[in-house]
Structure formats: structure tokens, C-alpha cells
Structure 1
Amino acid sequence: MDQRTPDLPLYEALAGRVVALVDDGVLRVGMRAPSVRAFAAQHGVSLTTALQAYRLLEDRGVLAARPKSGFYVTSRTHTRRPPPAASQPPQRATQVSVSNPVFSVLAYATDPSYAPLGCAVPSAGLLAAERLDRHLARCARVHGRNYNVYADPHGDAELRGQISERALRLGHAVPPDGVLISNGCTEALNIALSVTTKPGDTVAIESPTYFGLLQVLEAHGLRALELPTDPTSGIDVAALDKALGARRVAACLLASSFSNPLGYRTDDARKAAITKVLTRHGVPLIEDDIYGDISFGADRPRPFAAISPKADIILCSSFSKTIAPGYRIGWLAANRRHDQILAAKFALSLSGAALPQKAMADFLTSGGYDAHLRRIRKLFADNIDRMRRTVDRSFPRDTRMTDPRGGFVLWLELPHGFDADALYARAIRERICFVPGSLFTASGGYRNCLRLSCSHDWSARIERSVERLGELADELLQ
């Protein structure tokens, strides 16, 4: 049976059929592809030809071979949409003022009567909340009196030990005493900025960047220097070097991987190059690793701190995106400034809540977190896949979108002149919430962009809402 298409070898034409199944959602991320033998029999080709097709798909990142198990789907939708253009923010530091519009958006994003495309907070049903709550109830019942006290400012020793152990798996050798528990990642970032900057200083950041980080900069009276950023690979290292050589920058604040809103994964070589530049200019790095555990690939990316252990780096993270946002458990780890960080934590909030930390420690010690991560990675990858396919068929023809390697947000870029704020106003009237791109910058750009959250269970309501957004966008472009 000759299934060859013009000018294509047979094995490449067969590979195209598998890609079509991925694009149509028949084969999804994490699913096992038909065995080579079954694939050969189905298409009436030799085992050699079938294997050639699978190897080509492996080279292209669509499939991955697992020893003694077969081939599994690792790539998401291959749409016709190109990625957004690399950003070109103004080459100047900007005073940050985003809080008022952010609060307005959050009021809708947290209202369950609106379609949940706004807040980048996973729905409770996707996370491990129930299991963690059982640990909390048991701790309260058995040890409640012991934990109704001010905790050690460092945080629960067992919890710090678990975080240290997981860091070591990534090559990040930080002892338990080097970990400090915070009230979520936001407090960790606040502490890190308080020990590296003073009001009026300039902080270098990605562009676009998470509006919550801009709020933190605003609260500290800091200026933002936005850096050119590619939506597939990250910060432009040469531009970073040039920017640091042209002005005084007190700190650099970057996502470790899967930045919000672009979702890209910075490879190890680029991370090493970034820290080399920062070290040469004497600029500390504050890295936000909150999305690191939500990787769609076979491996979890290493943070900057693991790649450049001697550099001046403060790592900040939390369990808010993977286990329980309501428990507000984050942490910092730094190879320098530990005493300053501890003093800042003590002055800011004295300590964290003891009982939730004990429950989290018990949850991690009992095992199952890695299995939980495998489950939610597949769920979020599937949500991204569905969202991209829905955008692909619903939004205006010239819409560009990211292809995230992890996390659960999608960034769209519409033609220049499009007004995402106007789209937002019309969408809110129809009880659909998303976040317009203008909130992801301090310098007034990205008005033709928007971010969609893929953090809830996929549903007909969400699909219809995305389709309606596409219709509204078409109307605005007329």
C-alpha cells in the first residue's frame, strides 16, 4: 500500500499522519503511541519503514522512546500559528505603576461567575488539596498544641529538609539550614529585593513579565529595566550585557523556566551565559522558580542556582502552583546573604504558620508528590493543547501564539493596532475574564496582546468562551 505523498519519502508521509493525530487531539501528550509493529501492520509497511517514521518523529520532538515501554507523545499541537515576535522594550528604566488596573482585573478573575481565563491559579480539583488537608487535620488532632506557637523564623526543619533533598536531585546542593520558608513566593521575592535593592534602584526584568512581579517592584519604589525577550528561548544575553554596561542595575529578576506569560524554557547554556554576564557586572540574580516543577518534557529544568552554584543568586519558589495555593508555603535559598535574608524575614512577618508547614512536610515525606506532578503535568499539557487548538480555529488569521514548554498560560499577539483592552471590556460584559497584555509591562506596550490561563479543568464553557473571544477579536479588527 503506497501512502506516499508527492516529493515525500514514505516514512516521512507516515510521520505526517501521526502529527495529524496529535494535532486533532486523538493522540495527546503522555499517551503511548501504537507499537512499531502495530503501526507497520496498520499501514502495510515494513518494520524498518515504521521505525524510520518513529525515529523522525523522535528527532522532531513529537515522540520520545522509553526503554522497554515504547514511544510516547511529548509534543503538543503543531498549529499554523507562528510564535509572537521577540520583544523590543524601551531601553530605559521605567517607574512602575500597575496596581490599580491589576486589582480591577483580579476582582473579575477570582469571581466564579466569569469564565476562568484570567487568574494563573490552578483549580483546587487539579491539585493535591484533599490529601494535604488530611495531613493538616491529623497534625491538628495529634500535635495541634505543639504547633499553636510562633514557628522558627527559618521554618519547619523537616520541610526544609524535604526541599533540600529535592534540590539536590537537580544538582543544587543547598543544606536544610540554607533554606528559609516564606509565606508564598511573593514574600520570598519581597525579601530578596529588600536585601539587594533600595527605593529608586533599577531592577532588570524580562519583557513581558508577570504583573505580580511589577506590583512587587512598585511596592519597593523600584524602577524596571525591561529586557528584550524571545518567546521561545528567553532573555537576549547580548542585550543584557549592553544594558548592564550602560547603567547601574541593583538586581536582575528572572523566571527560572516557563516564565509567566511566555512559557519558554531557557536552556542550561543560556542560563550559564546570563549568570556569567551578571557576575561580571556585579549584579545579583533573583530567580523565580515557581513553575519549574510543571515541565512537559522528560526532565525538570535546573534552576540558575544549580548551573552556577558560585554566582550571587537568590532562588525563590513555592508549592502554590503544584499543591496548595491557599497554604502560602514558599521558600528562599541563597549561597550568600543568608543572615540578611533571615533578618528581613523576621522583620517582615516573624515566621510562617507552623501547622500548615508541618502538614506540608508530612505530605512530602509520605511520598506521592512525584506521581502527583506527573499527573498534573499531563493535565496542564493537555489544557494547553486544547487551548491552542481552540485559538487556532477561532482567532483572527494573523494571531500569533506561544507554544509553552511548561506551566499553564498562553500568550497571544494580535496584529499591531489591535486593542486588547477594548476586547477585555467587551469580554467582561459577556462574563469572560482574561488578562490584557498591557498589564505585563511598565512601559506601556503589548496593547495588542493577551494572556489566557489554562489552569482549570477543560470544559465546554471554557471552549465556548475562547471561541467567543475569537469572534469578538474578529469584530474589533473589522
Structure 2
Amino acid sequence: MKLLDKSSSAYLYQQVIDFIEHQKKIGALHPGDKLPSLRKLSRQFDISVPTVKQAYIELERQGQVCAKPQSGYYLQAMQARTLKPRPAKWAQCAPVEVQGRSMIEQVHAAVHLPNTVALGISNPIQAHPPDKALARLMRSVLSKVSEKAVSYGPVTGDAKLRMQLAFRYQDQGVEINPDDIVITNGAQEALSIALQCVAKRGDIIAIESPCFFGIIELIETLGMKALEVYTCTEDGVCVEDLAEAINQHDITACLFSTAINNPLGSMKTDEQRQAMVSLLEQHDIPLIEDEVYSEIYFTDNKPKPAQLYSEKGLVMTCSSFSKTAAPGYRIGWLLPGKFEEQAKRIKRAQSASTPMLQQWTLNEYLLSGDYDRHLCVLRKTLTYNCERMRALIAEHFPQEVCISKPLGGSVLWLRCQSHVKTGEFFQQALAQGVSFAPGAIFSPSGKYQNYMRVSYGVQWGEDVETAVKVLGQLVYEYTGKQKAAQLLEEK
């Protein structure tokens, strides 16, 4: 396909630039979109790769595109106001019982509403579902195991799957005996078991703030109290803040996501993670690490598990395949550290075992190498979606709205103007076919009223873009109503 005029006096690379600018003008390319690869455009226009690269470099110099290592060139997004670490001292909270259960129920219910774009739930694999590969493997497994598939399995789970998980942790330097791993019904059961291993009703559990609402609700269900510890938008929980909280409160255990926090997408460095574990073990305080997003990182290397730095066995690691492969399988696991016997006893009493067919299928998935290939594509897709979503929000929300810049995961954390209460227009959004997660449910004390969480773990399409525009318009409308009400009061 020859679209360039090689007889023209204009340089060929300039014609490529003109083509890209025309695509922007007619709406074929949007801020945050990935440009065609150098080879693809060179074939399309029958020109050399260096000519296309020269055009892209010039567009980059002009600030119209940006290059991303090992990913390609992207149309520059509108400048989004990025959330920054706190400018001043964050007010330390007292331990509290959980609020906001009603809104949590509404957010969960919205996932299953027909004709609704579900931006309120974090389900990363929607961006690149491996359902066909898993269905094929499950059929193969089922043909071999037959009646065994409906029988009870071992309390701690399938030995082969535990072996595969142990290998993966050993690759990161964590020496794990497969017999120590407990397979669970999703990460939520792993977290529940871990909490029951180290705490009882009335005990204080330190959590991140903001914190995934499922953790907050779990702590409430177990009759424990949550203590919010400030969490930086970039590095997670600050060790100095944690030390202060330990000095002020009788903390029984900590439950943190040191790899990828939900909803911030923050990530601690390995050095910071090691310092945190050292501090906690000095005080004999167990750390429960929720690392369900650890495979969805946008950095060069996967974050190391906190358990790597434990010398006393006080770190417990909870994870699952729910965010990376199959949420419906409900397969998670727990590395219980020194609490192995308690964990196995609680698992036996709580659910006896975990469905075997799904475990066998996932074991085959890991063995085949398809899982790691899937993760590679998933990470690239989510990185791309993240940039597109940030660009869309910057374009359609008020300019005062600040947006997180996550280092992984599948969600963005938005801070609206201080007077905006996002929970107040949640139902309006649902009425227009869009769900999101209001910020207040990410705090046991009801903080973050003017925040919202939006997921980019989606199959990208026009419906997603329309949904973001709807949310932006609702924020504009809410702001307008508040200003009008304020003017009436002044009169």
C-alpha cells in the first residue's frame, strides 16, 4: 500500500509525520494510543524503517509522541495531574471498627448488572482472558481423572501444584518447602486464615490507607479493629510512620501489600521492604503480605516477596490466580511461615479442602509455559490500558482531578476537588450504565470521600471510553451543583 508521494519535494519522513497528524485530526488516533510499529508502517508505505523512525523521533522531539522501552511509540496523552506524596503530616488515626458496608455491597452488586461497564471492580484478566487455553486444559485433565474430579482433596491442596508454586518462589530466592504451602479458596481465604493464626477478636491490625475494601470487610467480620497507616502513592507504607504507629498502639499484626497496593498501585523497593520486615520482627509483629498483584508489575523486575527478608518466620504470604488467570476458579495459597500448623488446622476446620479439578488444570497451565507467556501479554496490555485511561480521564474530567501513576495492577486512584463526595453520584452513574468504586470504602473510618477508583483491567472499546466520559461529566455536574448551592447560601 503506497500512500506517500515519493515524487513530492517533501521529505518522506515529513509525510509520515503529516499522516500521523491527520490520523489525530480525524479521530483515528487518540491520546495514549500506541502508534503502528516501525516495521508495519514501513511495509504499509513501502519505505525504509529508518525513515519511519526519523519521523517518530521528530514527533517525539515536538512532544507529540513518547517512546517506551520494549513497547513502542505512543501518542502523547494530555498532561494528567499526578497524585503526589503527602505535602504535610498525615493525621494518625485511632483503631476503628469498619464503616461503609452498604456501599461495598452496592459496588459488588454492580458487577453483575446487565448493560453496565464495570469500572468499579478490579478484574485484570478481562484485558486478556486466558479462558480458551484453560478450557482446553480442563477438558484434557477431566478426561484423565474422571471420578477423582468430584472427590475431596488433601487439606493443603494438590502436591504437584504446590511444587510448581515452590519453584516459582525459589526463582526469587525464597526457599519454600512445597509441604508448607496451603492451597486455599482464593486469596481471601488465605488472608482469613493468616489473620486467625495471629490475632483474635478485638485485636488491632495495621493496614494501608487507602486499603482494598475486601480486607477492611474481612477484618470487621473477624471482630478485629483496623488501624490505618499512611500509604505513599509511590512507595507504600512509610517505615517511619509504621514505627510511630507501633509506638502509639498495641498492634497485633500488619496486613500490607508491599508489592502492588490496591488502589494506589504503589510498590516498595526491595530495600524498603527489607527495612519494614526488620522493624516488625524487632517488635515480634507478624506481617501478612497480600501479593495478589505481584505478577502484574510495570517495572523491569518482579518485586521480591517480603518473606525473603524474614529471619523469624513472622511473614505470611497470601496470593492467588484470581487476578492473573481465573477468578472463577477460586484458587489461592498461603505461605504460613512459622504458623504452619495453625494454618493447616484452621484450613481443615474452615473449608476442609479446595476443589481439585481447578488445581490440576492450573498445574498443567504452569507446566506448559502458557501461564508465563500469558502474563507477559497481560502486563503489556494493562500498561497500554493504563496510559489510555489516564489520558481519557485527563481529557474528560475537571483539570483539578489528580490521577495515580501506578507501577502495576489494574486500577487508577483519582482525587477530585475537596468538596466532591463521589459516593453521592454512584447511583447516577449506575443509571447511566457505569460503575466505579467510591473512595470512602477504601478506609474503615470513611476517609477519601472525594476519591474514586477506576479500573483499566477491561477489554478496551468504545463502551469504556463512553463510560469514562460519563464519569467525568458527573464530576462536572456535581461541582456545578455545589457551586450553585454555595452561591445561594452566600445570598
Please give the TM-score of this superposition, normalised by the length of structure 1: 0.86
Q: Residue 459 of structure 1: which of 458, 461, 468 is its match? A: 461
Give the aligned CA root-mean-square deviation in angstroms: 2.9
The yes-or-no answer on 1:121 pairing with 2:128 is no
Tell me the residue number matched to 1:399.
401
**Residue number among 220, 224, 227 corresponding to 2:226 in the alignment:** 224
Give the aligned partner of residue 241 of structure 1. Answer: 243
- 8 Å contact 1:409–1:453 — kept in the other structure? yes
Q: 2:473 is aligned with what amino acid?
A: E
Q: Which amino acid aligns with 1:108?
A: A
**Cα–Cα, structure 1 residues 76 and 285, in superposed 2: closer, same or farther, change >3 Å?**
farther
Query: In the aligned structure 1, how far is the partner of 2:91 from the partner of 2:30?
Result: 34
Q: Does the aligned pair in 1 maintain the 2:193–2:346 contact within 8 Å?
A: yes
Match of 1:199 in 2: 201
Q: Which amino acid aligns with 2:221?
A: A
Please tell me whether the aligned partners of residues 27 and 33 of structure 1 are also in contact (alpha carbons under 8 angstroms).
Answer: no
Q: Which has the higher mean CA deviation after the structures are superposed, 155-164 or 32-41? A: 32-41
Per the alignment, residue 146 of structure 1 pairs with 148
What corresponds to 1:344 in structure 2?
346
The residue that corresponds to 1:365 in the other structure is 367
Give me the whole-angstrom Cα distance separating, in 2, the residues matched to 1:429 and 1:31. 44
Following superposition, the deviation at residue 308 of structure 1 comes to: 3.6
Of residues 4, 25, 32, the one that matches 2:32 is: 25
Q: Which stretch has the larger CA shift, 419-428 or 86-95?
A: 86-95
Counterpart of 1:83 in structure 2 is 83
Q: Distance in 2 between matches of 1:391 and 1:155?
A: 43
Relative to structure 1, the CA distance from residue 349 to residue 398 in structure 2 (aligned partners, 3 Å threshold; closer, same or farther) is: same
Find out whether 1:275 has 2:282 as its counterpart.
no
Distance 1:473 1:78, change over 3 A: closer
User: Aligned to 2:289, what secondary structure does the other structure show?
Assistant: strand
Whether 1:427 and 2:429 are equivalent positions in the alignment is: yes
Question: How far 1:26 moved relative to its partner?
Answer: 4.8
User: Shift in Å at residue 473 of structure 1?
Assistant: 0.6
Give the deviation of 1:288 after TM superposition. Answer: 0.4
Q: Per-residue deviation at 1:132? A: 1.2
Matched, 1:477 2:472: no
User: 1:300 offset after TM fit, Å?
Assistant: 1.3
Counterparts of 1:307 and 1:30, CA distance in 2:
42
How far residue 79 of structure 1 moved from its aligned partner, in angstroms, is 2.6
Aligned to 1:329: 331
Asked if structure 1 preserves the Cα contact closer than 8 Å seen for 2:169 and 2:175, the reply is yes
Question: Tell me, what secondary structure is at the counterpart of 1:396?
Answer: coil
Residue pair 1:211, 1:439 contacting (<8 A) in 2 also: yes
**Structure 1 SS opposite 2:400:** coil
Provide the residue aligned with 2:252 in structure 1.
250
- Maintained 8 Å contact 2:100/2:446: no
Asked if 2 retains the 8 angstrom alpha-carbon contact of 1:210 and 1:260, the reply is yes
1:95 equivalent to 2:97? Answer: yes
Deviation of residue 275 (structure 1)?
Answer: 0.9
Tell whether the 8 Å contact from 1:117 to 1:432 is kept in structure 2 after alignment. Answer: yes
Counterpart CA distance in 2 for 1:30 and 1:109 is 36
**Cα distance between partner residues in 1 of 2:451 and 2:40:** 36
The CA deviation at 1:414 is: 0.8
Q: Kindly state the Cα deviation for residue 36 of structure 1 after the two structures are TM-superposed.
A: 10
Question: Paired residue for 1:441?
Answer: 443
Rounded Cα–Cα distance in structure 2 between residues aligned with 1:311 and 1:320: 26
1:29–1:365 CA distance, 2 compared to 1 (3 A): farther
Q: Are the structure 2 counterparts of residues 23 and 277 from structure 1 closer, same or farther at C-alpha, using a change threshold of 3 Å?
A: farther
One-letter code aligned to 2:435: C
The structure number with the bigger radius of gyration is 2
CA contact (8 A) 1:62 1:76 kept: no
- For residue 204 of structure 1, give the secondary structure of its aligned residue in structure 2: strand
| Cα 1:141–1:62 shift into 2, 3 Å | same
Q: 1:435 and 1:80, CA in 2 relative to 1: closer, same or farther beyond 3 A? A: closer
Q: For residues 162-206 of structure 1, what are the alpha-carbon distances to aligned partners after superposition, in whole Å with 9 as ceiling and x for unaligned?
A: 111111111122121121100000000000001010000000000
Deviations 1:429-448 (A, max 9, x none): 21211010010001121000
Q: Which runs of 5+ in 2 are unaligned?
A: 1-19, 42-47, 481-491
CA shift, 1:41, in A, is 4.7
Q: Return the letter of the residue paired with 1:407.
A: G
Per-residue CA distance 1:329-375 (angstroms, 9 max, x = gap): 00001331111111111010011111111111111112211110011
Residue 91 of structure 1 aligns with an amino acid whose one-letter code is: C
SS at match of 1:120: coil
Instruction: Identify which of 371, 374, 377 aligns with 1:375.
Output: 377
Equivalent position amino acid for 1:118 in 2: G
1:63–1:75 CA contact under 8 A, matched in 2: no
Measured at CA, do residues 437 and 40 of structure 1 come closer, stay the same or move farther in structure 2, by a change above 3 Å?
Answer: closer
1:196–1:469 Cα change, 3 Å: same
Q: Which residue of 1 aligns with 2:300?
A: 298
TM-superposition CA deviations, 1:89-140 (whole Å, max 9, x none): 5421011234332112211122232121111124557221221122222222
SS of the residue 2:183 aligns to: strand
